A and B are shown apart, each in its own frame.
Chain A
């Protein structure tokens, strides 16, 4: 369109994220013709785009460019602030341009070289002359070879001072002419050269093809694994989709590719290369924690890489496909090695990552396999189906534990075992019973099962306690030699199992303690207890089948006495016979055997290892080593119900204890951690008790429970003593015994405290109940000192003050509460008189007294009575006077200052006062009008009277008006007479009466003040005129009056200027008075009566050229009407005029009033 459109390249910075080229095109196309848009986005390492900008090639005029800049620059557009600058031309464009220019130049140079030179104004340096000839007119310029003019140079020789002359023409034979072929374009590709080479990596690298590094071989395998070879041959688009899918799955493959054999598929390789392949690489390096992040980063990398690559790929796909394949094949091998290294290093992390994995089946199966391979657990034969569903759960548990990877591994081992055990279910149980080496294995398995279950149970509930337990376990680990074993893998354990059937347990326990799986044991033990009880009850037998293993009673028996164990075993046997007789019998036997063999050691270890077991051990007098895979939920209820029965029938001393214990256990099976803590710490005890109180059963059994606890403690001591006697490792036991004793002591103390508390509570409650009778005590409580004294004895009673304080306070508070209520009752009478002013405080002096008293609190000693009161009336008066004087002074000062203020501000004096009055008025306005009050009569408006009066007045006026005519004629004549006469008349009038000033005033009013006044007088006039109208000589009269008028006026003005003012002011007053004062009004009216009559002639004179309202000349209309029915029309007209007049008057008055108000 426009001739001066130029191609401009604009830099558009600060683009928002989602801006496309089309957007930019739209945006800029209104300024010019957008030819090319290039959007560039910068991204950081994470792949988050930091900034985006664009280059826009646009054909634009200068004006448009300016417009564009002004409109778009620094504007917000789609989430970014645009920044537009003129950019350098893209170098490609410039190159093209340069070439074109060069071309053009060449053409030009070929066509007209000289002309160009001339145009420039330069000298043609080419001369057709023999070389060596000097250029004419130019010194020191010679023509050299090819006709080119060159300067003669004077050069200083290198080492001498001599100056040499260098004449180029002499050396011109050295020169060579080079044909200029600048325009000849050599394609860029020609500038480079291709490296010939084979398919070996070096040659590829030389060729700049490093793409193979992007494709890890694992990926390849992955792809192959997940997809069949069929997919790999799909079209590019489909491949891409697949790749995306893969990238999603990329977390999974870790385990898979370890086992997977590396097999290269050429067809897939292409896929891999184009796709975002790097992810699998990263996966290999993943630790569980960083997996996600890694993925992200890798993805970002992929984006960048893949973009570039893809471009290249698409362009050269067809050409390079074959080489690609070969590359890929090679690449498969190389990176694989690298991966391997990583793989080894990441073995541990594998598990954690596997846990995180989403695809349970894949991972779990893999991990299982791996674990199986690693651990060489021969006996575990996992059916993958069984293990798979369980795995995720185990993962969860392990997850919650937050253990380091090593631990995780162990746990996983155990879990795998457990799974296997579970999978095999009952099969595992049977092999346990024969007391062979197999038994130990089975036991291990079963243990693991239990462990697992316990884990399952505990982990969701107890996370923190695990750590605590860890600590506890760690603190209590006193078995020296077996730590190593615990550290070792289970293989060692198994070996131990083979040799000795008990050692596995201990080691296992230790192991647990180490691994912080102790809660499991504890849970198991608790469950065990429950089980034992449940076994004693026939009802529970139905539940039994769920308990897969019932292993441990033996050691207990070994410790305690064979008799007890026998009894118990018998009992157990009885119960077990219901379920599966063989199992339990075998069990018992085994345990007995075991117990006899090395029950002591194991028991001691157990006690040492786990505090929880101590608790249990006193109860049962059995170290709860054996663990059961129990589903506690179902049993809890049963056990709780069973406890009642147990508590009721104590056939043996043990039973009740057990029952109560089991109570605790049953209730707390959910809160195992608490129980564990309770064993050691009284505080935790409390907590547990509180929990216990929640359940009704326990509350009912609270007291007995305490007793039981005590007994437990005693028993535990007994058991400990026994254990000491039995001790194989004495030192550990001793320590433990000490610890336990301490704990027991603490428990006892605590128990005592509890009892005392209870007593206190009871007493307090009793007090509360009977507070009416012992009012004294309450009063005592009310005063602080005595209450303290009371408290102290209670404290003495209690041995534990710390806990009692709370209770005490509670009691106190309650007592106080009641006291207050009592007080209220007693004070109810006082209340009525409370707010009455007491006689001594009445009056002014009394007030002072009260003030004085209020200063001194309520202390009797400092009470100020009337003696202290300086009740000198004189002083008061003086003070008052002083105050007054002060106030006066201040007021005076204030006035002064106000004056100054006014002078400063140039406000007139009245303003502030008026303001004050205004405010006062306002305040008055606020007064509520009460018609019943006589004072408020002021606020009433007496409009009716006014109106009536006005009516009366009007009537009078009308009458007057009617009367007027006769008078008017006289005046008329008066006016018509000499001016002198008039003056004289006037003067005489004034002198004679007060009345005449009214005429003057009225006349002047009509003259200048207001039209309304005129109207009033006019009306009178007219009324007068009507009469005169019908005289024959009306016209003459009019003329006369007209003539006379101005002279008159002027005279009146000059004569009666002062009077005029007076009269006007008086007029106003009049009107005011009319409204407000009735009598005055009447007077005024009286005054008025004569006035119109006298004023009439003057009024006559007031005639203007234009008609005014009620103009007398309009009266002539009557003449028009008179022919028809003049009398009727006239009467009606008169009536109307009178009414009109009244209206006018009213309006006039109102207007005047308004003016005044303003």
Chain B
């Protein structure tokens, strides 16, 4: 468990900023307490100061996880967001996609969002913009990348992919063993 290096931080923030933009500041500079990012087993955890202190008592090899896992660094030192970060992405998300009830299940099984399942989308979403996916009842379901800009979405045929799937809350079940 160690703090992130600057490079790591940069990589990670660049990734997160795709989803929440300037709201990233709010994650770092929180009024309700000190929160920080910690790297442990190639995974980045977003931890409150208090938990950090508590976790300091546990040896690194025994420690499974602490705080909230935001994602992990791949071997190539790219950052991959995990669905566990959804809790922090969803409230701050700048670009959102709402999917119809019928398409929810499909998305939650790890499929991309088709236009037919697209219920609503934030305007001015550009292509390849990170988006958080919500159900029509505003329940965050996951996140992904907009495959089409909002304007394009209007034109494409219903079976075209609108949002590339990245993570969804179905992973809590499907990837239970790997999520920490």
Binding site for B on A (CB under 8 A): 886-887, 890-891, 893-894, 896-898, 900-901, 903-905, 907, 912
CA A747 to CA B6, docked complex, whole Å: 90
CA A907 to CA B36, docked complex, whole Å: 20
Contact B13 A894 (CB under 8 A): no
Partner of B29, one of A900, A903, A912: A912
| In the complex, the 8 A-B pairs of residues with the closest C-beta atoms, listed nearest first | A904-B13, A900-B9, A897-B28, A890-B34, A900-B10, A904-B14, A901-B24, A901-B28
Contact B9 A897 (CB under 8 A): yes
Q: Which residues of A contact B49 (CB under 8 A)?
A: 886, 890
Partner of A893, one of B21, B22, B36, B53: B36
Most buried by A among B3, B6, B21, B25: B25
Q: Which residues of A contact B29 (CB under 8 A)?
A: 894, 898, 912
CA A907 to CA B13, docked complex, whole Å: 13
Residues facing A in B17-59 (CB within 8 A) are 17, 21-22, 24-25, 28-29, 34, 36-37, 49, 53
Contact A897 B37 (CB under 8 A): yes
Binding site for A on B (CB under 8 A): 3-4, 6, 9-10, 13-14, 17, 21-22, 24-25, 28-29, 34, 36-37, 49, 53
Q: Which residues of B contact A897 (CB under 8 A)?
A: 4, 9, 13, 28, 36-37
Closest to A919 in B: B31
CB distance from B55 to the nearest CB of A (A): 13
CA A907 to CA B26, docked complex, whole Å: 14
Most buried by B among A886, A894, A900, A905: A900
CA A887 to CA B10, docked complex, whole Å: 23
Known: A890-B49, A894-B28. A907 touches B22 (CB 8 A): yes
CB distance from A911 to the nearest CB of B (A): 9
CA A897 to CA B27, docked complex, whole Å: 10
CA A854 to CA B6, docked complex, whole Å: 44
CA A901 to CA B20, docked complex, whole Å: 12
Q: Which residues of B contact A903 (CB under 8 A)?
A: 10
Closest to A896 in B: B6
11 CB contacts below 8 A, A to B, read A886-B49, A894-B36, A896-B6, A897-B4, A900-B10, A901-B13, A904-B10, A905-B13, A905-B17, A905-B24, A905-B25
Contact A898 B25 (CB under 8 A): yes
Known: A894-B28, A894-B34. A900 touches B3 (CB 8 A): no
CB distance from B33 to the nearest CB of A (A): 10
Contact B53 A886 (CB under 8 A): yes
Closest to A899 in B: B6
Q: Which residues of B contact A890 (CB under 8 A)?
A: 34, 36, 49
Contact A896 B25 (CB under 8 A): no
CA A887 to CA B3, docked complex, whole Å: 14
Closest to B13 in A: A904
CA A413 to CA B24, docked complex, whole Å: 91
Known: A905-B17, A905-B25. A900 touches B36 (CB 8 A): no
CB distance from B26 to the nearest CB of A (A): 10
Partner of A905, one of B9, B22, B34: B22
Q: Which residues of B contact A887 (CB under 8 A)?
A: 34
CB distance from B58 to the nearest CB of A (A): 17
Q: Which residues of A contact B3 (CB under 8 A)?
A: 893
CB distance from B67 to the nearest CB of A (A): 14
CA A893 to CA B3, docked complex, whole Å: 8
Closest to A890 in B: B34
CA A912 to CA B25, docked complex, whole Å: 8
Beyond A904-B10, A905-B25, A912-B29, 13 extra complex contacts between A and B, CB < 8 Å: A890-B49, A893-B3, A893-B36, A897-B9, A897-B28, A897-B36, A898-B25, A900-B6, A900-B13, A901-B24, A901-B28, A904-B14, A912-B25
CA A804 to CA B10, docked complex, whole Å: 76
Closest to A900 in B: B9
Known: A890-B34, A893-B36. A904 touches B28 (CB 8 A): no
Closest to B9 in A: A900
CB distance from B93 to the nearest CB of A (A): 15
CB distance from B14 to the nearest CB of A (A): 5
CB distance from B157 to the nearest CB of A (A): 22
CA A44 to CA B10, docked complex, whole Å: 72
CA A596 to CA B36, docked complex, whole Å: 107
CB distance from A385 to the nearest CB of B (A): 71
Known: A893-B3, A897-B9, A898-B29. A904 touches B24 (CB 8 A): yes
CB distance from A475 to the nearest CB of B (A): 60
CA A890 to CA B34, docked complex, whole Å: 8
Q: Which residues of A contact B37 (CB under 8 A)?
A: 897
CA A150 to CA B3, docked complex, whole Å: 104
Q: Which residues of B contact A891 (CB under 8 A)?
A: 34
CB distance from B179 to the nearest CB of A (A): 24
CA A904 to CA B3, docked complex, whole Å: 18
CB distance from A1134 to the nearest CB of B (A): 58
Contact A896 B9 (CB under 8 A): yes
CA A619 to CA B100, docked complex, whole Å: 79
Contact A901 B25 (CB under 8 A): yes
Partner of B28, one of A886, A898, A907: A898
Closest to B24 in A: A901
Closest to B25 in A: A901
CA A894 to CA B35, docked complex, whole Å: 8
Q: Which residues of A contact B10 (CB under 8 A)?
A: 900, 903-904
CB distance from A410 to the nearest CB of B (A): 62
Q: Which residues of A contact B25 (CB under 8 A)?
A: 898, 901, 905, 912
CB distance from B81 to the nearest CB of A (A): 15
Q: Which residues of B contact A893 (CB under 8 A)?
A: 3, 36
CA A894 to CA B36, docked complex, whole Å: 7
CB distance from A182 to the nearest CB of B (A): 54
CA A776 to CA B9, docked complex, whole Å: 72
Closest to B14 in A: A904
Q: Which residues of A contact B4 (CB under 8 A)?
A: 897
CA A886 to CA B34, docked complex, whole Å: 11
Closest to A897 in B: B28
CB distance from B135 to the nearest CB of A (A): 28
Q: Which residues of A contact B17 (CB under 8 A)?
A: 904-905
CB distance from A793 to the nearest CB of B (A): 55
CA A887 to CA B49, docked complex, whole Å: 9
CA A886 to CA B54, docked complex, whole Å: 13
Most buried by A among B4, B17, B28, B36: B28
CB distance from A784 to the nearest CB of B (A): 39
Closest to A891 in B: B34
Q: Which residues of A contact B53 (CB under 8 A)?
A: 886
CA A912 to CA B24, docked complex, whole Å: 12
Closest to A904 in B: B13
CB distance from B123 to the nearest CB of A (A): 22
CB distance from A323 to the nearest CB of B (A): 64
Closest to A887 in B: B34
Q: Which residues of B contact A894 (CB under 8 A)?
A: 28-29, 34, 36
CB distance from B35 to the nearest CB of A (A): 9
CB distance from B159 to the nearest CB of A (A): 24
Q: Which residues of A contact B13 (CB under 8 A)?
A: 897, 900-901, 904-905
CB distance from B24 to the nearest CB of A (A): 6
CA A901 to CA B4, docked complex, whole Å: 13
CB distance from B50 to the nearest CB of A (A): 11
Q: Which residues of B contact A901 (CB under 8 A)?
A: 13, 24-25, 28
Q: Which residues of B contact A912 (CB under 8 A)?
A: 25, 29
Q: Which residues of B contact A886 (CB under 8 A)?
A: 49, 53
Q: Which residues of A contact B14 (CB under 8 A)?
A: 904
CA A898 to CA B29, docked complex, whole Å: 8
CB distance from A717 to the nearest CB of B (A): 74
CA A903 to CA B49, docked complex, whole Å: 24
CB distance from A892 to the nearest CB of B (A): 10
Closest to B38 in A: A893
Closest to B27 in A: A901
CA A895 to CA B165, docked complex, whole Å: 34
CB distance from A68 to the nearest CB of B (A): 28
CA A695 to CA B129, docked complex, whole Å: 83
CA A384 to CA B14, docked complex, whole Å: 101
CB distance from B91 to the nearest CB of A (A): 17
